[in-house]
Amino acid sequence: MARQIQEILIDDLDGGEAVETVAFAIDGSSYEIDLSDLNAKKLREALTPFVQHARRAAPASARRRGRGPSARAISRGKSSEIRQWAKSHGLPVSERGRIAANVVEQYEASH
């Protein structure tokens, strides 16, 4: 027995026949839309002035990793300053090692 499966794309805007799936992203969300040649052209033309003035973003996988430990590292002088501030405000802070993020956030919010 032979089977043939045919996928037919329907234009998500006007219900006609679509020829491609167009992927795009905005405000951190990715989208796909099936469009005819005409509607795909309209979408690309509408976005062109924005794309021409935009910069490329890092891939989503790189953005999820965060800024990395080196970007979050606090200098020794700053650590000492934060520890003194935390102690004077009755916040628990160790003499050595990493300072808790909530303590750093409170310090930064007060300065």
Same domain, 53 and 27: yes
Q: Out of 20-29, 37-46, 60-69, 80-89, pick the least confident.
A: 60-69
Q: What is the 3-state secondary structure (H, E, C) of the chain?
A: CCCCCCCCCECCCCCCECCEEEEEEECCEEEEEEECHHHHHHHHHHHHHHHHHCCCCCCHHHHHCCCCHHHHCCCHHHHHHHHHHHHHCCCCCCCCCCCCHHHHHHHHHHC
> What pLDDT does 28 receive?
83
Same domain, 91 and 52: no
pLDDT digits (tens, 9 = 90+) for 6-52: 999 999 999 999 999 999 999 888 999 999 999 999 999 999 999 99
Same domain, 47 and 74: no
Same domain, 61 and 13: yes
Neighbouring CB atoms inside 10 A of 60's CB total 10
The total domain count for the chain is 2
What's the mean pLDDT when you consider all of the chain? 87
> What pLDDT does 62 receive?
61
Same domain, 11 and 62: yes
Query: What does the alpha-carbon distance between residue 78 and residue 99 come to, in Å, rounded to a whole number?
Result: 11
Same domain, 61 and 17: yes
Same domain, 40 and 73: no
> What pLDDT does 77 receive?
83
Neighbouring CB atoms inside 10 A of 47's CB total 14
> What pLDDT does 95 receive?
86
Same domain, 24 and 1: yes
Same domain, 60 and 25: yes
Domain range enclosing 106: 69-110
